[in-house]
Structure 1
Amino acid sequence: MKRHLKSHGLDLRLLWQELQLPFSLLFITFVGGTLGYKLLYPDLELHRLFFMTAITLSTVGYGDVVGAENSPLAAWYTMVLMLVGMGTSVYAVSTLTAFFVEGALGELLKYSKLKRRIAGMREHYIICGAGTTGVHIIREMSRCGVNFVVLDQSEERLHELREEFPNLLFIADDATDEASLAQAGIHLASGLVAALTNDKENLFLTLTARQMNPRLKIVSKAIDLNIGRRLEIAGADYIVSPNFIGGMRMASEMLRPNVVSFLDRMLRGHENDIRIHEVTLPIGSSQAGKCLGELEVFLHTGVRILAMLDSPQSSQYVYNPDHDHKLAVGTVLLFIGNTAQQRKLIDLVK
C-alpha cells in the first residue's frame, strides 16, 4: 500500500483505498438494483424503487411496495437481487469489521502522525536506503540524537527497524523518486545520505537530490571506486566506499591494532556517546578574531581541541593547535567529547 499522507489529519485517500472495494460494490448493487426495478416498473416513482431496493438488499422485510409478487419476472429479479445483496452486504460488513478489529485504522492514524512529524522537520537528514550499510548509519545518527528520516522501499525492513527504533521516522517508497524526496522534506533538509544497493541508483539519487536542493550536503556510497568522479559531477560532496574502508580497516587491524581498538570503542560504545565532533564558528560569532587560548575551551567544556580547519573549504588541518592560533568565522574545531560537551562548545563560540 502506497502511503501518501497529508500534512494534517488522517488522509482520506488512504481510508478510501482500504474501504473502496466493499463500498463500491454496495453502491453499484444499490444503484443497479434500482435501475432494474425501473426497467420493470417504468411508471413508478424513483423513491419507491430506491426504497424497494433498500429493503430487498437489507432483507428487513418491510413488504412488497411495488407488487413484485404479481409478476414472475419481478419476483425472480427480487430473489436474485436479495442473494446478491446479502453477499455484498456480508462482505462489506466483514471488511469494515476487520478494518477496525485488526487495527488497520490505528495503523493509518499512526502513519498520519508520522507524516505530520516529517512535514514539520527542518535542517534534518535524509537516509536513503536501510540495507546493510544504511542500518549502521541509522544507529549512529540515532545515538547522536540528530533528526532524520529514512527512505526505503522495503516495508518489511522498515518494520524490523521500527522494532529497534520505535520512534523512527520513515517513508516506504522509492528514494530516487522526486515525490518521495519532497515528502521527506528535501527542500528543508540539511543533508542526504545515498546508501542504496547499487552505484547506478546512488548516482541517479545524487543527481536528483542536487537538482532539488542545491545547498544540500550529500554523502554517497560507492561500491566501485571508479564511479567516484561521476558522483562528484552529479553533486556528491563526499563519497564513501565500504570496500575501500573495509580493506583499510583489515590492514590497520594487522599493523596498528591498539589504534583500531581505541576508535572502535569510541564509535561502537553504547555506554556513552563519546565521538570525534566538530564545531564551526558561525557568522556573527563573538569569538571571531580572538586566539584559541582566550576561549578557555577546557575550562568551559571539559574538552581539548585536537585539530582545526581555518575554513570548511580548507584541506590543511592544524593538529594540536597552540593557544595563539587565530579564530575566524568558518573556523572548524575538532575534538573528542560527548554531545553535551559539543553543545557547550557551540554555545561558547556563538
Structure 2
Amino acid sequence: MTSVTSLFSPVDHDLTILSANLKELVGAQHPILSAAAEHLFGAGGKRLRPAIVLLVSRGTMLNQDITPRHRRLAEITEMIHTASLVHDDVVDESEIRRNVATVNSLFGNRIAVLAGDFLFAQSSWYLANLDNLEVVKLLSEVIRDFAEGEIRQGLNRFDTSLSLEAYLEKSYFKTASLMANSAKAAGVLSGVSDAIANDLYNYGRHLGLSFQIVDDILDFTASSEVLGKPAGSDLISGNLTAPALYAMEESPYLATLIEREFSEEGDIEEAIALVNQGNGIERSRELAAHHSQQAIESLQNLKPSDCHQALMDLADYILTRMY
C-alpha cells in the first residue's frame, strides 16, 4: 500500500527544511515553553497540512522555485495545527496522542494552555509579516473557526438531535478550514487566478471533511494502539460523529444510551456494538468517499505535474486508512 510519506516525495526536501525551521520559530525565552515546543515538534507526525501547502505551492509555481513566503506559510500552518491540538487535549483531558504523552499530561493544564496560546501568537506574528492581507485574512479565519468548532462540540455533547449537517459544519471548523484556507493561501502567494484559488479552497475543504470522517470511522474500527488514544473515545465523551448519527437512525435505543450518558453498566459496550452492527460505518465510508471525489474534481483545472498528481493521490490515500 502507498504510504503517505511516499506521496510527499515531490516536497521531501521542503519538509526536511520545515522540520528544522519549526523548532527555531518557536524558540521561546521560557525554558518550559521551549521544552513543550521541543516535545511537540520533535515527536514528528506526518506533517500532512504543511505538505499540502508545499504541494500546492510547487504545483502552482511550475516554472520557478517556491518563495520564502510559501515556506513560511507551510510553517505557520503546522504551528496553528499544533496549537489547536494542544488546546484540544486540555479540553478533552487527553493523556496521549499518537501514542505520545500530551503536553498537558507532562507539564499540566496551565502550561499547556499557555503553550497553545504562545503558538497561536507566534503564528499570528509570522503571518502578519508575510505582508499579504488576503493571506492574513484566510489564516486568521482558521483560528476563529477552531474556537467555533470547539465551542460547538462542547455545547453539543450527548445531543442526540444533532443533524448530519451540523456535524459536517463542526468538522469543517475543526479540521477542514485549515486545509481549505491554507491551500487557497498558497495559491494566492503564487498569484493564481481567483477561479483557481477557489478550486484550491474547495480541494482543501473536501479533503479535510473526508479526512475527519475517516478519523471518526477509525474511532470505532481501529485498535487503541493504531489510534494512539482509547477506541470509542469520541462516543464516550459525548461527541457524536457520522457513524453514531447514522446508527441512531437504525437503532433508536442507541439514542437512549447516549442521552443517559452511559450511566449504567455495559452501556458503552452496547453502544459501540450497535454502531458496529448496523450500516453506520458503511454509510460513513460512502460519505468520506464522496468528499474525497469532490476534492479530486476540484483540481481538474490545475496544470498537470508531480505535485498535482500527489494532491489527487492524497485524496484517494485518505480512504485507504479505513481498511
TM-score normalised by L of structure 1: 0.22
Q: Which has the higher helix share?
A: 2
Higher relative contact order (CA 8 A, sep 6+): 2
Larger Rg: 1
